[in-house]
Amino acid sequence: MTQLNILPRTEAPKAANDSRAKKVLSPLQVKNLLPVSEDIMVSVEHSKQQIRDILNGKDDRLLVVTGPCSIHDEAAALEYGQKLAELNEKLSDKLLIVMRTYVEKPRTSVGWKGFAYDPVRDGCGNMEQGLLRSRKLMLQLAQLGLPLATEALNPLVMMYMDDVISWVAIGARTSESQTHREMVSNLNIPVGIKNNTNGSADTAINAMISAGHSHHTLGLNRQGEIAMIDTPSNPDTHLVLRGGKTATGEVITNYDEKSIEEAVATLTDKNVHTKVMIDCSHDNAQKQHLKQIDIALHVAQLKRKGNQNILGIMLESFIEEGKQSMDGKLVYGKSITDACISWAQTEKLLNCLTV
């Protein structure tokens, strides 16, 4: 029988040129520098449980994930958060409002990858500064009593903020990734997984099934050391319907009653959570940000008519309507990625959802 020769552990040889690798503080170091207070810890756990209760049918409120398409300006994000926290308190009997704090952005080809990667938008990619500033902002927003949401792109980035986040999104392009499914399995956070860009929910549902199981995976421990992780599994995943496009470019929407029924039938057959969230933006809105308003009202009406499988909605919203280029002087409170509805439009819409 051939024996496997195990080489003794030796110090790894130094790379000939390591100038492209810049050392970054570990998740534990960043969390020690910017710790979670006991009040925030309790608030985050309470928010996660409230989301789980809605997901499990113990709470009939509508979950609303709303906020800027991406974070780029702490002052504007804080102002939006203060407005949202006041509205959340006012409408909390009918809605559970969670603020988008997206510091990573998926790119179709190239472009600005988000606040965590390039906080000053100069292309130099100071990630340590981005991670520190992202966490500081999230702590400030959490101090307002707001539940926070983010999209998880890089599993390592998630380790810097997982203790302040109450809801996580997995995007349409990453739902098929085994690495992301393992990451979700390791998160003690409710996670919404979006349907594929072609409109099919199959990939997202398979991701839900995978994340509901334990995995052995290679990752980092809190000290930033490479380690084998035994994930515990995540029972709190759900489907997000965001529309899609056919191979010929035809837009597919899936926020209507029939599409929801078809998705629920498949979810039931696969024995996973049957409640679905509707992304009112992206292909459902055909990239027309104002359509989000009509879609949200339509979905809320379906829920009022008795559709118990509607979990909530997602909105892209900021202080000012629309979007702007990063070139030149920026307009305060206006998105630099996808176009958003304004705060005035958001406030009016959310009040209408409670009627």
* Cβ(161)–Cβ(207) below 8 Å: no
Tell me the CA distances in angstroms from 183 to 138, 212, 213, 304, 351, one per residue in order: 21, 11, 11, 35, 36
* Among 44, 64, 149, 141, CA closest to 347: 64
Tell me the pLDDT band of 62, cut-offs 50, 70 and 90.
Answer: very high
Q: What is the average pLDDT score of the chain?
A: 94
CATH code assigned at 307: 3.20.20.70
**Residue 140: inside a domain:** yes
Residue 19 lies inside a defined structural domain of this protein: no
Classify residue 18: in a domain, yes or no: no
Structure tokens at 217: 């995976």
Residue 1 lies in a domain: no
Determine the structural domain holding residue 152 and report its residue range: 39-55+62-353
Q: Per the domain annotation, does 13 fall within a domain? A: no
Instruction: Please give the pLDDT value at position 16.
Output: 54
**Within a domain: 294:** yes
One-letter amino acid identity for 337?
T
Task: Give the pLDDT score at 242.
Answer: 98
**pLDDT band, residue 328 (cuts 50/70/90):** confident
Identify the pLDDT of residue 12. 54
Give the type of residue at 341.
I
238 contacts 195 by C-beta, under 8 angstroms? no
In tens, the pLDDT along 204-215 reads 999 999 999 999
- The one-letter code for the residue type at 222 is R
Q: Could you tell me which residue, 232 or 224, shows the higher pLDDT?
A: 232
Task: For the chain, give the percent of residues with pLDDT over 90.
Answer: 86
Domain annotation covers residue 12: no
Q: Could you read off the pLDDT of 111-165 as tens digits, one per residue?
A: 899 999 999 998 888 999 999 999 999 999 999 999 999 999 999 999 999 999 9
> Is residue 6 in some structural domain?
no
* Chain segment 256-267, per-residue pLDDT in tens: 999 999 999 999
> What's the mean pLDDT in 52-74?
98
Q: Is the dihedral of CA 86, 89, 93, 94 positive or negative?
A: positive
Q: First vs last Cα of the chain: how many Å apart?
A: 75
- For the chain, the domain total comes to 1
Q: What is the pLDDT of residue 229?
A: 94
pLDDT in the model for residue 8: 57
